[in-house]
Amino acid sequence: MRLQESGEMYLETILILTNKNKIVRSLDVAEYMGFSKPSVSRAVSLLKSGGYIVVDGNGYLILTDIGREVAEKIYERHTILTEFFISIGVNEETATDDACKIEHDISDESFAAIKKHMKKS
């Protein structure tokens, strides 16, 4: 199942919150993303049925291996693209916003070239 951009954003958010707080609930995701609880509930249901997350008995969201893989890929793209834009003179807020828009659509080839370029700098 190919994830849509919104699914990738949810996984990235769950990863960020997991790294920060260790445990993540749907409410945490809703607050972080500024979305309604019903919207998050629907997304959680889709991610769960797709095998990207599990919800434990306490209602905590846990990334599966494939969910973590997708989340880490998107988060790496976000981080490196933000750094790239800042390095070429874009202000941090705009760089972050633009990275968020591009991270889901950039080809693996283009991203690899930017990543390689950033390692040289």
Q: CATH number for the domain including 113? A: 1.10.60.10
15 shares its domain with 53: yes
**Average pLDDT score over residue span 92-118:** 93
Q: Global pTM? A: 0.88
Q: 82 — phi, psi (to 5°)? A: -60, -50
In this structure, what CATH number is given to the domain that contains residue 21? 1.10.10.10
- Please state, in angstroms and as integers, the Cα–Cα distance from residue 9 to each residue in 5, 43, 89, 113, following that order: 6, 10, 26, 23
For residue 115, the enclosing domain spans 70-120
Q: What is the pLDDT of residue 29?
A: 97
* Per-residue pLDDT band at 3 (split at 50, 70, 90): confident
Q: How many domains is the chain partitioned into structurally? A: 2
45 shares its domain with 75: no
53 shares its domain with 94: no
Question: Could you say which of 67, 84, 103 is where a domain stops?
Answer: 67
